[in-house]
Amino acid sequence: MKKRNRKIAAALGIVIIGGIWYNGAQSSKALPSEQASPTSSFTPLPSPSDEPSQSPESPSPSASQAPDKSPKPSASASNPPTAKPTETKPTESTPPTEAVKPPVKESAAFELLADSLPGSTVRKNKQGLAVITNASSLYVLVNKQRNLASDYVPKDLIVPDVPFSFSGDSPKKQMRKAAAKALESLFKAAKDDGIKLKAVSGYRSYATQKSIFDSNVKRKGEKVANRTSARPGQSEHQTGLAMDISSASVGYALEESFGKTKEGQWLAKHAAEHGFIIRYLKGKESVTGYSYEPWHVRFVGKEIAEDIANKKVTLEQYFEDAETAMARKA
């Protein structure tokens, strides 16, 4: 090889190596921000996720189905197509600005939430408490930042025709009509699959929630009570859209071990098909404000439930993404 050729070859080598290094630096830079973002599951997929085309296998083995304590089991286990978001980068517009917050994946289901977005459904009362203004919406978001009025009682409470863990009449057998009908469908599907579930606790009035919380504070102290039970006005049970479900295999207890039973796993997998979500997911305490509750299902309707199950997000995150998507549209 001549001297000049060698020089060219050396220069080429530097360019190539430099290029490789540059690409590597770029993609490794892109990773942390994407993983840190709660919306990272919205990375574009070849198929539109707004049509709930998922097989019964995929929707909700979400966090709740994890057989062990690993923090993010589902994301990697059952979601291979989204695992390599960096590959799709070049097709997106303006990566430098988008890299900070990946675009929210549009969902047709977001449209249903147009009148229920958290930002526009809350007002401060005289005591400075944030009170929900859409309490009777099927899409109401209740949490530690959003309180139901103390006098809110759903108007269409009925007792679903499902087996309960106790006998006799009780207000806690009730749910709102739409939720009750959906619960009947859920329980029928369970029965057809040879799974025996029992309903444990549904509607709870403000007053009942207050006495539960107060007694928990007495028994466990305020800090623990606040993590494991809701303050009055902050319980989804007051909406009539939630039900606690358990099985004989755990003595109908409402405890984390239910999530590992075949009944708990069936519930996590099939709840969305009937319009329910497992509301308090494992590893999401910092978002929901509550410990993992594999027994607590919340009715949000099939469209939203299936979209949430597909995206493996909490209701809080889902609303946040809906709000972002709607704002972008406006």
Establish if 244 lies at the interface with Zn ion (CB under 5 A): yes
Angle, helices 302-311/315-329, rounded to nearest 10 degrees: 100
Q: What is the DSSP string of 90-116?
A: GGSS-HHHHTTSPPPPP-GGGGGGTT-
Q: Which stretch binds Zn ion (CB under 5 A): 105-113, 115-123, 147-155, 243-251?
A: 243-251
Give me the least distance between CB of 262 and Zn ion, in Å please.
21
Q: Count residues near Zn ion (CB under 5 A).
A: 2
Which segments within the chain are labelled E, that is strand?
122-124, 130-132, 157-158, 175-176, 198-201, 242-246, 276-280, 293-299
Of residues 293-312, those binding Zn ion (CB under 5 A): 296
Give me the least distance between CB of 280 and Zn ion, in Å please.
8
Give me the least distance between CB of 247 and Zn ion, in Å please.
15
Q: Which stretch binds Zn ion (CB under 5 A): 81-89, 95-103, 219-227, 291-299?
A: 291-299
Give me the least distance between CB of 234 and Zn ion, in Å please.
12
Give me the least distance between CB of 314 and Zn ion, in Å please.
15
Give me the least distance between CB of 237 and Zn ion, in Å please.
6
| DSSP structure class, residue 298 | E
Q: Which stretch binds Zn ion (CB under 5 A): 14-22, 43-51, 61-69, 239-247?
A: 239-247
For residue 300 the two structure tokens come to 């949000």
Give the Cβ contact number of residue 207 at 10 Å: 11
Distance between CA atoms of residues 227 and 216, nearest Å: 11
Q: Which stretch binds Zn ion (CB under 5 A): 97-105, 189-197, 210-218, 241-249?
A: 241-249
Of the candidates 176, 134, 131, 132, the residue with the CA atom closest to the CA atom of residue 301: 176
Which of residues 244 and 320 has its CB atom nearest to Zn ion in the complex?
244
Which of residues 107 and 205 has its CB atom nearest to Zn ion in the complex?
205
Which of residues 281 and 325 has its CB atom nearest to Zn ion in the complex?
281
Backbone angles phi, psi at 157, to 5 degrees: -75, 135
Q: Which residue is nearest to Zn ion (CB)?
A: 296
Q: How many residues in the chain? A: 330
Of the candidates 321, 314, 322, the residue with the CA atom closest to the CA atom of residue 142: 314
* Residue 24 region by backbone torsions, left for phi larger than 0, else alpha for psi between -120 and 50, else beta: alpha
Which of residues 296 and 311 has its CB atom nearest to Zn ion in the complex?
296
Establish if 290 lies at the interface with Zn ion (CB under 5 A): no
Establish if 172 lies at the interface with Zn ion (CB under 5 A): no
Which of residues 102 and 264 has its CB atom nearest to Zn ion in the complex?
264
- Integer angstrom CA distances of residue 212 from 51, 114, 126, 164, 183: 40, 34, 25, 20, 24
Give me the least distance between CB of 202 and Zn ion, in Å please.
9
Residue ranges that bind Zn ion, judged by CB under 5 A: 244, 296
